[in-house]
Amino acid sequence: MTDLSLTTKKNKLTYTASIKGVEKAEKALRRLGFESKANFAESQLLSRSTVTKFFGRQPIQLDSFKRICNALKLKWEEITEILEVSAPFKEVSISSEQEKCSISGRLEEVGQVMTTKRQVTVIDKHAQTKACIKLEGDINSVDNNFKLILETILRESSGDTIIVTDIKSGSIKVFIEGSQEDIQKLVSRIKSKDITEVNSFRIIDIQVLSEHLNDAVHNDKWRLVEEIKVQGAEGRNLKGADLSDADLSSASLRNADLIDADFSDADLSYADLIGADLRNANLQNANLIGANLIGTILIRANLTGANLIRANPNYANLSYANLIRTNLIGTNLRRANLTCANLRDANLIRTSINDADLSNADLSGSNLSGASLSNSNLTRASFSNSNLSGADLRDAKLQNANFSGTNLIGADLRDANLQNADLSDTDFNGANFSGANLSGANLQNANLQNANVTKTQFRNNEEISQSIKQDLIKRGAIFEDSPGDRSQVLV
């Protein structure tokens, strides 16, 4: 079987359903016998979150928007939301030498001009789209200024990227091109009868010439999704594939080449991704609950907002991965490579990260309550303002780590290496430092009350006062300070 290698669509239009559009979709859902939105999503190979966003009137990608509408036997152009434009279009002056022309939209209420109401989120303003506007009339009746007049009118109504490239007979066919945003805005205004004529010529129709090409790409995408869902894609080359919004739950992607692939908003729950190469892949907001990521390469992958509850990334390479706000509750990250990974504000409650490499990782603001990080390499990692209460950090390498402002109440730090770590403003109440090495650590304003410091090594900790030092020695601490060391403050 020939492998498909699809280019990731990095610049995408997103569409939002209107209130009336959602009402139509809800009725169609019932009329067509779908028992639930979840069943509907499964039938269309769409992730549940994408369908939920559609019915919740949140923006989703155009191909997914069309897929939902087609499945519900609705015209997608009639479901899109309407967004007010800054001002109604009444009359456009060309110049003193040129005739005045107008764009008018005649609606039910006399004298009112209704502005287009389709909400579009556009990232790429440079991608060109071509269209043809068919006007009622005789081409022989137009003058030499007609092309310039039309171009000016269309730009005023729908965007300054639009240009008229040609005018042909057959009634009057006006060929134009412009950015996706501007062309789609114009299409929406014409389809909604907001614009009914240009320069006194009635508009018969408008057709986006590249639409069939886009649809072909989208059809290829969903055929690929179906193939993966039914047959699996073990060892396949899917480099750069667009699999966004897709339902790939329980799919087999073992050892697949998924470099640069787009899995944003996709459902990969319980998928088999053992040994898959996901370097630079986009997994933003993806559902990876229960996914098997053993040995997966996720270098520089974007996992922002992803859900990895109960996922199994044992031995996974997540170096430089973006895991901001990621949900990793209960995840097994044993022996994972998380060097330089960004885990800011991540949820790592009860996560197992034993024997993992987190050197230089950023875990600022993350919740690691009850997490297990024993034997892990956390040198130069940042935990500032994180919650590590009750965490297991036995034998962890924490040299030069930043724990400033961190909650380590009741944490197990037995035999941990905290040399030169920043422990300022940290709460160690009830923590166990038995056998740990705190030489050179910054302990300014740290709270060591009720901490177990049996055989804990201290040296060159300038913030410790003599009275506190004596108290720690009585509790079993070992100080190896050179003569003449003096300390200042320790709470």
Tokens of 426: 């940290």
pLDDT digits (tens, 9 = 90+) for 130-163: 777 888 877 777 777 788 888 888 888 887 888 8
Order of all β-strands in the sheet with 197-198: 91-92, 101-104, 197-198, 201-208, 128-135, 172-179, 163-169
Residues in the chain, total: 491
Residue 291 vs residue 108, higher pLDDT: 291
Tokens of 157: 């109504």
Segment 205-228 mean pLDDT? 72
pLDDT of residue 333: 80
Handedness of CA 77, 82, 83, 87 (dihedral sign): positive
pLDDT of residue 102: 33
Q: Within the chain, what is the greatest distance between any pair of CA atoms?
A: 105
d(C-alpha 19, C-alpha 82), whole Å: 10
The H or E element containing residue 204 is strand 201-208
The H or E element containing residue 223 is helix 211-231
Per DSSP, the residues of 414-456 read TT-B-TT-B-TT-B-TT-B-TT-B-TT-B-TT-B-TT-B-TT-
Q: Tell me the CATH number for domain 17-78.
A: 1.10.260
Average pLDDT of every residue of the chain: 81
Look up residue 70 and give its amino acid. N
Out of 3.30.70, 1.10.3470, 2.70.70, 2.60.40, which CATH number does the structure's domain 91-116+119-209 have? 3.30.70
Residue 258 vs residue 329, higher pLDDT: 258
Q: What is the pTM of this model?
A: 0.63
CA distances from 480 to 267, 443, 468, 472 (A): 55, 16, 15, 13
d(C-alpha 417, C-alpha 414), whole Å: 9
Q: Tokens 């991540």 label which residue?
A: 346
Pick the closest to residue 25 from 61, 83, 75 (CA basis): 75
25 band by pLDDT with thresholds 50, 70 and 90: very high
- Among 242-251, 309-318, 476-485, the minimum mean pLDDT is found in 476-485
93: CB partners within 8 A, 6+ apart: 100
pLDDT of residue 22: 96
Pick the closest to residue 304 from 320, 329, 286 (CA basis): 286
**pLDDT surpasses 60 at 430:** yes
d(C-alpha 246, C-alpha 226), whole Å: 9
Q: 74: number of CA atoms within 13 Å, CB side?
A: 24
Pick the closest to residue 332 from 361, 346, 311, 356 (CA basis): 311
d(C-alpha 342, C-alpha 169), whole Å: 59
Pick the closest to residue 300 from 330, 358, 345, 339 (CA basis): 339
312 neighbors 292 (Cβ within 8 angstroms): yes
d(C-alpha 9, C-alpha 241), whole Å: 8
pLDDT digits (tens, 9 = 90+) for 31-43: 999 889 999 999 9
Tokens of 359: 């050197």
Q: Tokens 């498909």 label which residue?
A: 4
**pLDDT surpasses 70 at 127:** no
Residue 1 CB neighbour total at 10 angstroms: 7
User: Could you tell me where in the chain the CATH 3.30.70 domains are found?
Assistant: 91-116+119-209
pLDDT of residue 265: 94
Strand partners, 21: none
Residue 187 vs residue 479, higher pLDDT: 479
186 band by pLDDT with thresholds 50, 70 and 90: confident
pLDDT of residue 1: 31
What angle separates helix 48-55 from helix 62-71, to the nearest 10 degrees?
Answer: 80
Tokens of 379: 């040198």
**pLDDT surpasses 90 at 168:** no
Per DSSP, the residues of 57-79 read T--EEHHHHHHHHHHTT--GGGT
